Structure 1
């Protein structure tokens, strides 16, 4: 079952980071970005945060399960969706620990025709 658009809108509203939080559809599911860094995935209407020291500190008790068949277990933050302060703090702390996004490659210059 793919994630509903209403659910991803609800998640973004609950995290309440405005334009700092973006999401992109990937393979029928979504990746969540804070300041252009991937911090979580939304799969089957559940939010899976990337494992990090922030999760160990702020969400050690969170349940874990794979976001899709064959994936490793990720902490599931669904129980924090009703606690805007807690989920926002976890997302911000996770983003702070993630590497900066790689610079995008410039578009290749068009080839000149052979004479």
Structure 2
């Protein structure tokens, strides 16, 4: 079941204090970015935060579950979504510890050489 864009907008609004929050539709679901780093996934209208020692310490009551079959377990956020201060603190801490994504290499031209 694809996530509702209204749910995505609400979750991202709750995280606004953590940094620059953006989202992108991927494979019918959504990836949530904080300062250019993927911090969460929204799948089936459920929010999953990357599980690290820091986020697990900040959110000890959040259960672990995979956002999609075959994925690594993430923290499943339920009640935390309405605690804006706690959610913001967890997302900001996660973004601070994650590395910046590697820059993408430019695509090679598919034009054939003349001759």
TM-score, length-normalised on structure 2?
A: 0.87
Match of 1:81 in 2: 81
Q: Which runs of 5+ in 1 are unaligned?
A: none
CA distance in 2, matches of 1:89, 1:64: 19
Could you say if the C-alpha distance between residues 97 and 109 of structure 1 is closer, same or farther in structure 2, counting changes exceeding 3 Å? same
Match of 2:47 in 1: 47
Maintained 8 Å contact 2:58/2:90: yes
Could you say if the C-alpha distance between residues 46 and 98 of structure 1 is closer, same or farther in structure 2, counting changes exceeding 3 Å? same
Maintained 8 Å contact 1:64/1:73: yes
Q: Which runs of 5+ in 2 are unaligned?
A: none
Divergent runs of 4+, >6 A = none
Maintained 8 Å contact 1:77/1:87: no
CA distance in 2, matches of 1:91, 1:73: 17
TM-score, length-normalised on structure 1?
A: 0.87
CA distance in 2, matches of 1:49, 1:20: 16
Could you say if the C-alpha distance between residues 9 and 112 of structure 1 is closer, same or farther in structure 2, counting changes exceeding 3 Å? same
Give the 5 Å matches for 1:17-32.
17=17, 20-32=20-32
Give the CA RMSD over aligned residues: 2.0
Residues matched between the structures, number:
115
